[in-house]
């Protein structure tokens, strides 16, 4: 990380209110190119909401989110054009159950990027190949294991060649023995230089893959730093309590 | 027993009534071909409107659906057929039937589509929107295909109701299946023509009713 | 010009004199509609429930009869049945008053749909519920009455409500055979007065009767929405 590199994702003063409850209370966060930033914190801290504001699945109440220098919260921004540059992977996969794995991956290539079908399928197969599932291209989501479904979901986001990928608890819905396959794919992405913002409880993975760990609580960033420091010598009491709780 | 056969299953009378009844069947099919696609399209429009972000559009869609579900279709039909002439409009029986049935069936189909769309989880919208698909694209490629599959038994079942509904067009003298059969009955003083019409409805609809029972059980399982 | 058209419209569809003159007739129609609807709902639902219970005994010839009955009454338009019964029965020596014909036909139609809905509800109760109840020593009928039906009927409330609304609206078919319900009163008044106001009154009467029921049905569906998940 060299200073002076412009960040890919730049969040400034982000607030989000649902009715009267303020879920995000002023978040500032920079994510640099090729960085893997891990977000941890107790449930209800606002982690998912933070991610969902980054591609405007939730409309921020205040503040700005810039992706590659473009303010996605501005009215003039074509949010659909921006969204394909921001890949998102969900806890519950959200694959389209009525489409094959390949069609799941190619749909946005055809309908958003207007690629011809043949080229879309070539790109889709390449994306499936990167997650090790080229052989499942013709399978429907219902025929795949949870881990395989999540890898198809990663391929779906990956095929659009996003600038940054958001992972919202990507392994929480998986059986323990299937978690590894998804984390391996994420490791590969990291090696390939993908910028990633990850909400997850996989601390082992955070330790050896994350560049930076953010601890959030009650809608605020409590502290941040390299994983070694956050996990072994956190400076805030709340962080310490949370990590002790996880370690048990 | 003899009297029952004479009165309800008189083959000679049925044979004489057959040409009239078949021409009635043609009209019934014509109404169906007109009203079912119109209703399916109108219902979809209602359902999409009821999902709108604009509160007033949502409110109008739900109010319209409830209004036309509350009013008996025969009342609507007579209101249009006998009421509009007072306002200077003289709809033909077919026009009155088309308008009344369109309003009635759209509201029913609309309610079914709405339930179907709601049965598709928010996650599907999130996933599709996160890849840059627009709202209408998400609806068309992701949500509607799943919604229709989820409520297919209800859609088919409502279509059976529409076919049955066509029989009330007889009240405004549109010469459809039941009207023709009833005309034959009043001429012959014998109910066999109506039994014949009933048999035709059964032949058309029984297989579909069976199919619905199967579909419903599969969805429930 | 616009004023004139407006007053003509009011005169044709909301004529106060006509409203005053035919209000009692329409109200009489409302009472008849409510009476028939209530009779249809009670008898039809009960008969449907009884048929569904009989079906759980799984006596093959009996069940075949029930299925044939249910399918026929689901497939035939009610107006066909009304005409068949109303004009057919007198010729073989059975004379029923027209309101009885309407009640009989609609109750049978509702029974057919209700049986199907109750039966689907009973089938949707997992086998484990039967086994658990039987293992505690409850008999077949006890299991049905205390364990299965209470759960099954809960599931059937929303679809049954909607179906019941649809069928009770068919009381309007009574006008074809001269039952003095709302629509009949309204069309009679319309032809006597030469004015469309009675039709409007009839339509409004139906709204007042049925909109609350439709809204209630919608609420039920939302409350029971977990069923669809």
Task: Answer yes or no: is pLDDT of A200 > 60.
Answer: yes
* Residue A35: half-sphere exposure toward Cβ, Cα within 13 Å: 25
Please state, rounded to an integer, the average pLDDT across all residues of chain B.
91
In this prediction, residues A86-107 reach a mean pLDDT of: 94
User: What does the longest C-alpha to C-alpha distance in chain C come to?
Assistant: 82
Tell me if B102 sits within 8 A of B39, measured CB to CB: yes
pLDDT-derived band at A179, boundaries 50, 70, 90: very high
Task: Answer yes or no: is pLDDT of B201 > 60.
Answer: yes
Q: Residue B54 carries which DSSP code?
A: S
In this prediction, residues A75-79 reach a mean pLDDT of: 87
Task: Tell me the pairing of strands A62-67 and A70-71.
Answer: antiparallel
Give tens-digit pLDDT for A80-92: 888 989 999 999 9
Does the residue B140 lie in any domain? yes
Q: What would the two tokens of residue B8 be?
A: 């309800």
Bin C58: left if φ > 0, else alpha if -120 < ψ < 50, else beta.
Answer: left
> Across the interface, do B146 and A160 touch by the CB < 8 Å criterion?
no
Provide the pLDDT for residue A165.
95
A55: Cβ–Cβ under 8 A, 6 or more apart, which residues? A72, A79, A82, A83, A86, A88, A166, B130
User: How large is the angle between the packed helices A101-111 and A117-130, nearest 10 degrees?
Assistant: 130
A90: Cβ–Cβ under 8 A, 6 or more apart, which residues? A153, A168, A170, B123, B126, B127
C223: Cβ–Cβ under 8 A, 6 or more apart, which residues? none
pLDDT-derived band at B206, boundaries 50, 70, 90: very high
CA distance C137 to chain B (A): 28
**Along the 229 residues of chain C, how does pLDDT read in single tens digits?**
677 778 888 888 888 888 889 999 999 999 999 999 999 999 999 999 999 999 999 899 999 999 999 999 999 999 999 999 999 888 888 889 999 999 999 999 999 999 999 998 999 888 888 888 888 878 888 888 888 998 888 888 888 888 898 898 999 999 999 898 999 999 999 888 888 899 999 999 999 999 998 888 888 777 765 443 3
Q: Tokens 């199907």 sit at which residue?
A: C116
Rounded Cα gap, residues B142 and A107, in angstroms? 10
Does the residue C13 lie in any domain? no
pLDDT-derived band at A3, boundaries 50, 70, 90: low
Tell me if A151 sits within 8 A of A181, measured CB to CB: yes
Using a CB-CB cut-off of 8 Å, the residues of chain A touching B141 are: 107, 111
> Across the interface, do B71 and C203 touch by the CB < 8 Å criterion?
yes
Interface B–C counts its CB contacts (< 8 A) at: 143
B4: contact with C, CB 8 A cutoff: yes
In this prediction, residues A202-214 reach a mean pLDDT of: 91
Provide the pLDDT for residue C36.
95
Task: Answer yes or no: is pLDDT of A205 > 80.
Answer: yes
Tell me if A57 sits within 8 A of A31, measured CB to CB: no
Q: Quick one: C127 exposed, middle or buried, by C-beta within 10 A (0-12, 13-18, 19+)?
A: exposed
Using a CB-CB cut-off of 8 Å, the residues of chain B touching A111 are: 133, 137, 141
Provide the pLDDT for residue A1.
46
Does the residue C74 lie in any domain? yes
Give tens-digit pLDDT for C16-53: 888 889 999 999 999 999 999 999 999 999 999 999 99
Does the residue B64 lie in any domain? yes
Rounded Cα gap, residues C154 and C162, in angstroms? 14
Q: Residue B81 carries which DSSP code?
A: I
CA distance B19 to chain C (A): 19
Provide the pLDDT for residue C220.
79
pLDDT-derived band at B218, boundaries 50, 70, 90: low
> Across the interface, do B130 and A87 touch by the CB < 8 Å criterion?
yes
Domain that holds residue C92: 23-224
C-alpha to C-alpha distances, A3 to A6, A30, A33, A189, B201, nearest whole angstrom: 8, 12, 11, 23, 79
Provide the pLDDT for residue C227.
44
Report the share of chain A in percent with pLDDT over 70.
98
B197: contact with C, CB 8 A cutoff: yes
Using a CB-CB cut-off of 8 Å, the residues of chain B touching C210 are: 70-72
Rounded Cα gap, residues C41 and C210, in angstroms? 14
In this prediction, residues A67-72 reach a mean pLDDT of: 91
Q: What would the two tokens of residue C49 be?
A: 């429930």
CA distance B157 to chain C (A): 10
Task: Answer yes or no: is pLDDT of B220 > 60.
Answer: no
Does the residue B126 lie in any domain? yes
pLDDT-derived band at B3, boundaries 50, 70, 90: confident
B130: contact with A, CB 8 A cutoff: yes
Domain that holds residue B193: 16-220
Please state, rounded to an integer, the average pLDDT across all residues of chain A.
92
C-alpha to C-alpha distances, B188 to B10, B171, C92, nearest whole angstrom: 11, 20, 15
Q: Centre a 10 Å sphere on the Cβ of residue A207 and count the other Cβ atoms it contains.
A: 16
pLDDT-derived band at B202, boundaries 50, 70, 90: very high
Rounded Cα gap, residues C117 and C55, in angstroms? 13
SS (H, E, C) chain C: CHHHHHHHHHHHHCCHHHHHHHHHHHHHHHHHHHHHHHHHHHHHHHHHHHHHHHHHCCCHHHHHHHHHHHHHHHHCCHHHHHHHHHHHHHHHCCCCCHHHHHHHHHHHHHHHHHHHHHHHHHHCCCHHHHHHHHHCCCCHHHHHHHHHHHHHHHHHHHHHHHHHHHHHHHHHHHHHHCCCCHHHHHHHHHHHHCCCHHHHHHHHHHHHHHHHHHHHHHHHHHHCHHHHC
Using a CB-CB cut-off of 8 Å, the residues of chain B touching A57 are: 126, 129-130
In this prediction, residues B49-54 reach a mean pLDDT of: 87
Q: Among all residues of chain B, which has the CA nearest to that of A158?
A: B131
Provide the pLDDT for residue C224.
63
Provide the pLDDT for residue B221.
45
Are there at least 3 beta-carbon pairs closer than 8 Å between C and A? no
Considering only CA atoms, give the Rg of chain C.
22
Using a CB-CB cut-off of 8 Å, the residues of chain A touching B145 are: 98
Q: Tokens 């109200």 sit at which residue?
A: C27
Does the residue C229 lie in any domain? no
In this prediction, residues B165-183 reach a mean pLDDT of: 92
Q: Which of B83, B210, B220 sits opposite C196 (nearest CB)?
A: B83
C-alpha to C-alpha distances, B87 to B96, B173, C162, nearest whole angstrom: 14, 21, 34
Give tens-digit pLDDT for C138-158: 888 888 888 899 888 888 888
CA distance A112 to chain B (A): 6
List, as ranges, residues 148-177 from B with C-beta within 8 Å of C. Answer: 150, 160-161, 164-168, 170-171
In this prediction, residues A145-155 reach a mean pLDDT of: 95
> Across the interface, do A112 and B131 touch by the CB < 8 Å criterion?
yes
B122: contact with A, CB 8 A cutoff: no
Q: Containing H/E element for A18?
A: strand A9-18
Q: Which residue intervals of A18-145 are DSSP H helices?
A: 47-54, 79-83, 101-111, 117-130
> Across the interface, do B131 and A107 touch by the CB < 8 Å criterion?
yes
B189: contact with C, CB 8 A cutoff: yes
Q: What would the two tokens of residue C126 be?
A: 């997992």
In chain C, the number of structural domains is 1
In this prediction, residues B83-110 reach a mean pLDDT of: 91
Q: How far is the first Cα of chain A from the last one, in angstroms, to the nearest whole number?
A: 34
- Chains contacting A (3 or more CB pairs within 8 Å): B
- CATH code for the domain of B130: 1.10.3720.10
At A14 the three-state DSSP class reads: strand
> Across the interface, do B128 and A96 touch by the CB < 8 Å criterion?
yes
In chain B, the number of structural domains is 1
Does the residue C108 lie in any domain? yes
- CATH code for the domain of C126: 1.10.3720.10
> Across the interface, do B128 and A83 touch by the CB < 8 Å criterion?
no
Does the residue C115 lie in any domain? yes
Q: Quick one: A243 exposed, middle or buried, by C-beta within 10 A (0-12, 13-18, 19+)?
A: middle
pTM of the model: 0.85
pLDDT-derived band at B147, boundaries 50, 70, 90: very high
| Interface mutation vs chain A, best among B127, B135, B140, B141, most A CBs within 10 Å | B127
In this prediction, residues A55-67 reach a mean pLDDT of: 92
Q: Among residues B165, B173, B155, which one has the least CA distance to residue B215?
A: B155
Does the residue C67 lie in any domain? yes
Provide the pLDDT for residue B158.
93
C-alpha to C-alpha distances, C155 to B147, C119, C131, C189, nearest whole angstrom: 21, 11, 20, 43
Does the residue C173 lie in any domain? yes
In this prediction, residues B79-92 reach a mean pLDDT of: 87
């Amino acid at each position: 990380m060299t200073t002076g590199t412009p960040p890919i994702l730049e969040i400034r003063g982000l607030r989000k209110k649902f009715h009267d409850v303020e879920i995000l209370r002023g978040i500032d966060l920079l994510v640099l190119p090729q960085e893997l930033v891990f977000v941890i914190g107790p449930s209800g801290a606002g982690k998912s909401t933070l991610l969902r504001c980054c591609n405007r699945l939730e409309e921020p109440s205040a503040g700005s989110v810039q992706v590659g220098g473009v303010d996605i919260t501005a009215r003039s921004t074509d949010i659909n054009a921006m969204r394909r540059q921001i890949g998102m992977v969900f806890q519950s996969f959200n694959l389209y159950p009525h489409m094959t794995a390949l069609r799941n991956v190619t749909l946005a290539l055809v309908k958003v990027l207007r690629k011809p079908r043949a080229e879309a399928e070539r790109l889709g197969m390449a994306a499936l190949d990167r997650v090790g599932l080229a052989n499942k291209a013709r399978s429907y989501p219902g025929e795949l294991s949870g881990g395989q479904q999540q890898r198809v979901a990663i391929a779906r986001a990956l095929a659009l060649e996003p600038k940054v990928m958001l992972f919202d608890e990507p392994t929480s819905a998986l059986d323990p023995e299937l978690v590894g396959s998804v984390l391996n794919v994420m490791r590969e992405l990291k090696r390939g230089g993908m910028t990633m913002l990850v909400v997850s409880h996989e601390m082992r993975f955070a330790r050896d893959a994350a560049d930076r760990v953010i601890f959030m609580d009650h809608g605020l960033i409590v502290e941040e730093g390299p994983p070694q420091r956050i996990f072994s010598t956190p400076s805030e009491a709340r962080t310490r309590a949370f990590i002790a709780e996880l370690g048990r | 027993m003899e009297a029952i056969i004479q009165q309800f299953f008189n083959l000679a009378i049925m044979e004489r009534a057959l040409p009239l009844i078949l021409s009635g069947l043609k009209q019934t099919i014509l109404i169906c071909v007109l009203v079912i696609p119109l209703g399916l399209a109108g219902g979809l429009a209602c359902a999409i409107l009821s999902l709108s972000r604009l509160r007033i559009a949502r409110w109008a869609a739900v109010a319209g659906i409830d209004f036309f579900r509350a009013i008996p279709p025969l009342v609507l039909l007579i209101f249009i057929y006998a009421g509009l002439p007072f306002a200077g409009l003289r709809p033909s029986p077919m026009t009155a039937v088309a308008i009344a049935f369109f309003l009635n069936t759209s509201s029913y189909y609309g309610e079914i589509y709405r339930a179907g769309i709601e049965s598709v989880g928010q996650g599907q919208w999130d996933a599709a929107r996160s890849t840059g698909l627009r709202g209408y694209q998400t609806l068309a490629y992701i949500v509607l295909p799943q919604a229709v599959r989820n409520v297919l038994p209800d859609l088919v079942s409502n279509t059976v109701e529409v076919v049955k509904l066509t029989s009330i067009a007889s009240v405004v003298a549109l010469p459809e299946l039941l009207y023709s059969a009833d005309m034959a009955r009043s001429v012959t003083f014998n109910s066999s023509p109506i039994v014949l019409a009933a048999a035709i409805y059964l032949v058309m609809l029984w297989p579909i009713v069976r199919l619905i029972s199967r579909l419903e059980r599969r969805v429930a399982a | 010009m616009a004023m004139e058209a407006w007053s003509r419209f009011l005169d044709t569809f909301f004529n106060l004199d006509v409203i005053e003159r035919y209000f009692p007739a329409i109200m009489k129609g409302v009472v008849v509609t409510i009476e028939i609807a209530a009779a249809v709902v009670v008898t039809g639902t009960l008969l449907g429930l009884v048929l569904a219970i009989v079906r759980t005994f799984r006596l093959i010839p009996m069940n075949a009869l029930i299925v044939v009955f249910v399918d026929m009454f689901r497939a035939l338009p009610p107006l066909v049945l009304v005409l068949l019964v109303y004009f057919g029965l007198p010729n073989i020596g059975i004379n029923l008053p027209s309101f009885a014909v309407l009640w009989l036909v609609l109750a049978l139609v509702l029974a057919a749909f209700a049986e199907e809905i109750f039966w689907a509800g009973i089938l949707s109760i997992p086998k484990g519920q039967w086994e658990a109840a039987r293992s505690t020593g409850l008999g077949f009928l006890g299991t049905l009455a205390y364990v299965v039906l209470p759960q099954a009927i809960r599931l059937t409330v929303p679809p049954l409500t909607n179906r019941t609304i649809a069928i009770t609206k068919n009381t309007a078919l009574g006008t074809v055979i001269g039952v003095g319900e709302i629509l009949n009163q309204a069309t009679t008044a319309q032809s006597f007065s030469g004015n469309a106001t009675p039709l409007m009154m009839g339509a409004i009467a139906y709204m007042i009767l049925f909109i609350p029921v439709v809204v209630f049905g919608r609420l039920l569906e939302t409350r029971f929405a977990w069923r669809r998940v």
